[in-house]
Structures are given as structure tokens and as C-alpha cells.
């Protein structure tokens, strides 16, 4: 995906979250236990402002601090969220995305922040729609890119493979290009492309991505081979 594609995705997901009826902000988000939609909107608004703050400082700076929760409710909260997202998208559109800035993965170009915010917002847009009862899939190209990011960045940041997790899992998107082989032996190695694994997990790219983030179960997916290996992997996330 290029910068324009990420911005298009981010803009669409921001608009979807911002369209939440104010009277539904108290609805629980079952995919983020303990949160209401208002909590999730607050989280996203803070993350967007944090990203923008880091895009304003040089690479050798300490990362910017996150802004405190705003204390808004109802329509005021949604307006606050929209204002921050609009400012972030304007920053992305007006910035040289090759310039290096601080990130939680070390100094990276501004394009790194654009990708991260597009993917973060895509998953949370799905969370909000799921809480409201009708979640649209994450677009195929966004989901495939999100799987790549999860396997390279998020897994290394948030997950340590159990030492006794041994075997291989093949993730196979059935609605567009996207195949990955995960090999486990105390670590995780990833190969992109078609490879035979001990377990194959086939399905829509959106479902594969949401599975890695713990948003859904394997119910909408086809699991072939050693399902105990897959269960062990998912339980460890």
C-alpha cells in the first residue's frame, strides 16, 4: 500500500467511528473487554494526537507523551475525536513522510506512523461496528498489510513464543493475495508465500487479521491439520 491508500483507509475508518450515534457511546465493546465505545473513541483520539506529536519532533528526541483523556461525553467526545483525526490526516498529507521521527520501534520515517495509524484505526473501527451490531470486514489490502505488520512488528513487541510451541502454521487468504508460513521452535520465523505447514488456516484476509488480534475465533475459517497447534498458538497471544 502507498501513502494515498493508507490515507484513504484512515479517512474512511475515522468517518465510520465519528458516525457513532452519541446515545450509543455507552455500549460495551466486547472485543475490548471492560471498554465502552466512548472508551475506545477516547483511546483512538489520544493515539492520533500522540502520533501527530511524534511527527513534530526529530528522530533523536524522546517520544512525545500521550495527552490525558479529554473528559468529554456524547457529541463533544465525537467532535474532539474528529478534530484530532483531521489534524493528523492533514499532517500526513502535508509532511515529507521520508523524514525520520521517534517511534516505539526506534527511529522510523513518517510513513511508518501513517501505516500504524491506518491499521490501528481499521481494527478499532471494526470493534466499534461490532459493538453496534454490524461490523464490515477490513478491506483485503489493508488486512493483508496488517497481517504483515503483526507478524513483523506487533508480535515482537507484545508476544513471546512459548518454548514448547513447535511446528508450523500456514495462513492462507482466500479472497486475495496473502500467504504466510509461521515456523515455531522457541522462536517464530515467518516466510511469505505458499508453503505446506502442520496446520493450514484458510479464509478471508480480514478474518485472518482479526484472528491474530484476538477479535474472532476460528469459526469463520477453515482449519486443516493439527488444530491443537493452532489452539496453542492462539492461547499464547
pLDDT score recorded for residue 63 = 96
To the nearest whole number, what is the mean pLDDT of the chain?
96
- pLDDT tens track for 82-108: 999 999 999 999 999 999 999 999 999
CATH number, domain 3-132: 1.20.120.450
pLDDT score recorded for residue 159 = 87
Per-residue buried b or exposed e for 103-131, using 16+ beta carbons within 10 Å of the residue's own CB:
beeeebbbbbbbbbbbbbbbbbbbbbbbb
C-alpha distance from residue 193 to each of 30, 144, 180, 183 (Å): 33, 12, 5, 13
Domain with CATH 3.30.1050.10 in the chain: 160-236
Confidence of residue 160 (pLDDT cuts 50, 70, 90): confident
Name the fold adopted by 160-236. Nonspecific Lipid-transfer Protein; Chain A (3.30.1050)
The number of C-alpha atoms within 13 Å of 42 and in the hemisphere containing its C-beta is 15
C-alpha cell at position 89:
490526516
- pLDDT tens track for 2-40: 999 999 999 999 999 999 999 999 999 999 999 999 999
Distance CA 67, CA 48 (A): 10
pLDDT score recorded for residue 212 = 97
pLDDT score recorded for residue 155 = 86
- pLDDT tens track for 107-138: 999 999 999 999 999 999 999 999 999 999 99
106: left (phi over 0), alpha (psi -120 to 50) or beta: left
Contact in structure between 118 and 148 (CB atoms under 8 Å): no
Q: Which residues pair with 184 in a beta bridge?
A: 167, 188
Averaged over 62-66, what is the pLDDT? 95
pTM summary value: 0.96
Domain with CATH 1.20.120.450 in the chain: 3-132
Amino acid at each position: 500500500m502507498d501513502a494515498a491508500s493508507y490515507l484513504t483507509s484512515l479517512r474512511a475508518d475515522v468517518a465510520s467511528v465519528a458516525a457513532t450515534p452519541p446515545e450509543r457511546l455507552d455500549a460495551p465493546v466486547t472485543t475490548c473487554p471492560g471498554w465502552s465505545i466512548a472508551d475506545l473513541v477516547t483511546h483512538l483520539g489520544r493515539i492520533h494526537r500522540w502520533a501527530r506529536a511524534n511527527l513534530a519532533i526529530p528522530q533523536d528526541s524522546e517520544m512525545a507523551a500521550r495527552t490525558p483523556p479529554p473528559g468529554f461525553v456524547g457529541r463533544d467526545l465525537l467532535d474532539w475525536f474528529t478534530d484530532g483525526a483531521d489534524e493528523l490526516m492533514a499532517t500526513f498529507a502535508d509532511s515529507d513522510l521520508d523524514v525520520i521521527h521517534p517511534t516505539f520501534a526506534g527511529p522510523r520515517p513518517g510513513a511508518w506512523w501513517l501505516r500504524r495509524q491506518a491499521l490501528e484505526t481499521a481494527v478499532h473501527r471494526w470493534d466499534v461496528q461490532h459493538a453496534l451490531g454490524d461490523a464490515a470486514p477490513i478491506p483485503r489490502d489493508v488486512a493483508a498489510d496488517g497481517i504483515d505488520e503483526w507478524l513483523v512488528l506487533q508480535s515482537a513487541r507484545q508476544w513471546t513464543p512459548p518454548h514448547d510451541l513447535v511446528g508450523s502454521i500456514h495462513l492462507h487468504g482466500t479472497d486475495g493475495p496473502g500467504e504466510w508460513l509461521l515456523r515455531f521452535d522457541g522462536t517464530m520465523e515467518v516466510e511469505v508465500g505458499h508453503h505446506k505447514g502442520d496446520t493450514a488456516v484458510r479464509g478471508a484476509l480480514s478474518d485472518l487479521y482479526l484472528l491474530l488480534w484476538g477479535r474472532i475465533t476460528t469459526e469463520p475459517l477453515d482449519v486443516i491439520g493439527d488444530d491443537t497447534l493452532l489452539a496453542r498458538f492462539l492461547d499464547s497471544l
